[in-house]
Amino acid sequence: MPHKLMRMRRAEADQGTPGRPIMIAIAGDSAAGKTTLSRGLIEALGPGRATTICVDDYHRFDRAERAGLPYTVLHPDCNYIEIMEQHLQLLAIGEPVLKPVYDHSTGRLTRPELVEPREFIIVEGLLPLHTKLSRACFDVTVYLNPPEEIRRRWKIVRDTSERGYTAEQVLAELARREPDSEAFIRPQRAFADIVVRFGPAPHRDDPPGTPLSAELMLRPTIRHPDLTRVLSDGDQHAIHLKLTRDTDGRPVDTLHVHGYSPREDSATVEKAIWAELGIDASVPDSLGRLADGERTEPLAITQLLLLYHLLDAAR
Amino acid sequence: MPHKLMRMRRAEADQGTPGRPIMIAIAGDSAAGKTTLSRGLIEALGPGRATTICVDDYHRFDRAERAGLPYTVLHPDCNYIEIMEQHLQLLAIGEPVLKPVYDHSTGRLTRPELVEPREFIIVEGLLPLHTKLSRACFDVTVYLNPPEEIRRRWKIVRDTSERGYTAEQVLAELARREPDSEAFIRPQRAFADIVVRFGPAPHRDDPPGTPLSAELMLRPTIRHPDLTRVLSDGDQHAIHLKLTRDTDGRPVDTLHVHGYSPREDSATVEKAIWAELGIDASVPDSLGRLADGERTEPLAITQLLLLYHLLDAAR
For residue A220, pLDDT over 60 is answered with yes
CA distance B17 to A229: 56
DSSP state of A246: -
Residue B168 lies in a domain: no
Find the closest chain A residue to B90 by CA distance.
Answer: A86
Residue A44 lies in a domain: yes
B214 and B124 in one domain?
Answer: no
Residue A109 lies in a domain: yes
Q: Which residues of chain B are modeled with pLDDT < 50?
A: 1-17
Q: pLDDT tens-digit profile of B275-293?
A: 998 888 888 888 998 888 8
Chains A–B, number of C-beta pairs less than 8 Å apart:
44
Q: pLDDT tens-digit profile of A81-135?
A: 999 999 999 999 999 999 999 998 899 999 999 999 999 999 999 999 999 999 9
Please identify, among A106, A141, A176, the residue that sits at the C-terminal boundary of a domain. A141
Q: What is the pLDDT of residue A234?
A: 65
Which positions in chain B touch A98 (Cβ < 8 Å)?
80, 83, 98, 100, 112
Helix, strand, or coil (residue B75): coil
B197 and B136 in one domain?
Answer: no
A308 and A223 in one domain?
Answer: yes
Residue-wise burial string across B229-265, b where 16 or more C-beta atoms lie within 10 A, e elsewhere? ebbeeebeebbbbeeeeeeeeeebbbbbbbbebeeeb
Q: Do A82 and B100 touch (CB under 8 A)?
A: no
Q: What is the pLDDT of residue A185?
A: 98
B126 and B200 in one domain?
Answer: no
B12 and B128 in one domain?
Answer: yes
A315 and A201 in one domain?
Answer: yes
Residue A57 lies in a domain: yes
Amino acid at B312: D
Q: What is the pLDDT of residue B282?
A: 85
Residue B243 lies in a domain: yes
CA distance A287 to A40: 5
Q: Do A98 and B90 touch (CB under 8 A)?
A: no
Model ipTM value: 0.87
Q: To the nearest whole angstrom, how far is the Cα of A94 from the nearest Cα of chain B?
A: 13
For residue A48, pLDDT over 50 is answered with yes
Name which of B53, B108, B111 to mutate to probe chain A: the one with the most chain A Cβ atoms within 10 A of its Cβ.
Answer: B111
A214 and A107 in one domain?
Answer: no
Share of chain A above pLDDT 70, in %: 93
CA distance A197 to B70: 53
Q: To the nearest whole angstrom, how far is the Cα of A191 from the nearest Cα of chain B?
A: 26
Which positions in chain A touch B114 (Cβ < 8 Å)?
80, 83
Q: What is the pLDDT of residue A33?
A: 95
B109 and B1 in one domain?
Answer: yes
Spacing of C-alpha A279 from chain mean position: 24
A214 and A135 in one domain?
Answer: no
For residue A17, pLDDT over 50 is answered with no
Q: pLDDT tens-digit profile of A231-285?
A: 876 667 889 999 999 988 999 999 999 998 888 889 999 999 999 988 888 888 8
Number of structural domains (chain A) is 2
For residue A203, pLDDT over 80 is answered with no
Q: B40 is in which domain, residue-wise?
A: 1-140
Pick B100's closest partner by Cβ from A82, A86, A98. A98
Q: What is the pLDDT of residue B233?
A: 66
Helix (H) or strand (E) holding B38: helix B34-45
B308 and B212 in one domain?
Answer: yes
Q: What is the pLDDT of residue A235?
A: 65
Q: What is the pLDDT of residue A272?
A: 92
Name which of B61, B79, B98 to mutate to probe chain A: the one with the most chain A Cβ atoms within 10 A of its Cβ.
Answer: B98
How many residues are listed for chain B in this entry?
315
Question: CA B290 → CA B98, B159, B206, distances in Å?
Answer: 31, 17, 20
Are A211 and A296 a contacting pair, CB within 8 Å?
A: yes
B35 and B114 in one domain?
Answer: yes
Interface residues of chain A, partner chain B, Cβ below 8 Å: 62, 80, 82-83, 86, 90, 95-98, 100, 108-112, 114
B290: left (phi over 0), alpha (psi -120 to 50) or beta: beta
A203 and A136 in one domain?
Answer: no
Q: Do A83 and B62 touch (CB under 8 A)?
A: no
DSSP state of A163: S
Please identify, among A141, A169, A203, the residue that sits at the C-terminal boundary of a domain. A141
Kindly provide the residue ranges of all beta strands, DSSP E only, lying in B6-89, ordered along the sequence: 22-28, 50-54
Helix (H) or strand (E) holding A110: strand A108-115
Are A210 and A260 a contacting pair, CB within 8 Å?
A: yes
Residue A68 lies in a domain: yes
Interface residues of chain B, partner chain A, Cβ below 8 Å: 62, 80, 82-83, 86, 90, 95-98, 100, 108-112, 114
Lowest model confidence (mean pLDDT) among A56-60, A170-174, A181-185, B43-47 = B43-47
Of B184, B183, B161, B160, give the one whose Cα is nearest residue B172.
B160
Q: Could you give the dihedral angle defined by the CA atoms of residues B220, B223, B225 and B227, in that order, rounded to the nearest 10 degrees?
A: 30
Residue B181 lies in a domain: no
Please identify, among B108, B125, B140, the residue that sits at the C-terminal boundary of a domain. B140
CATH at A119: 3.40.50.300
Residue A7 lies in a domain: no
